[in-house]
Amino acid sequence: GLVGMWEASGYEFGSLRQFGPAVFPFALSVLLLLSGVGILLEGSPAGEEPFRLSMPRGVVFLTILAGPIAFALTVGTLGLVPAIFACVLISVLAERSLSLLKALLLGAVLAAGCTMVFVVFLNLPLRPFVW
């Protein structure tokens, strides 16, 4: 969150009538930072052993981290839809109760929704598929 706020502060914030390019990433970074602080403050209840990074938690951490990395590496070469599928299918490995069919359905819904929002509505220069 702090890194995002620092990066966003290098852009123009604009005014209240016309926001600049720094407002949205700065606001998301603040929300991310507040969420992290909230999670830290929640802590573990009294009497419970402190947090230790065990192998299952380490695998969960790595799969959650690998999803966005896969998205970033594939969005330019394969397109938005395959990149979202890669992100979802890798990240879903952290949730053991989710079946492959549900993961594929989640990927399809997210890919369709993101394509509608970013390509159709916001008209961003993202291609759904790169052939």
Note the pLDDT tens digit of each residue in 30-66: 999 998 888 777 765 666 665 565 557 778 888 888 9
Q: How far apart are CA 121 and CA 128, in angstroms?
A: 13
Residue range 90-101, pLDDT digits in tens: 988 888 788 889
pTM of the model as a whole: 0.61
Q: What ranges in 43-74 are assigned the alpha helix state H?
A: 55-74
Q: How far apart are CA 81 and CA 126, in angstroms?
A: 10
Q: Is residue 114 within 8 Å of 127, Cβ to Cβ?
A: no
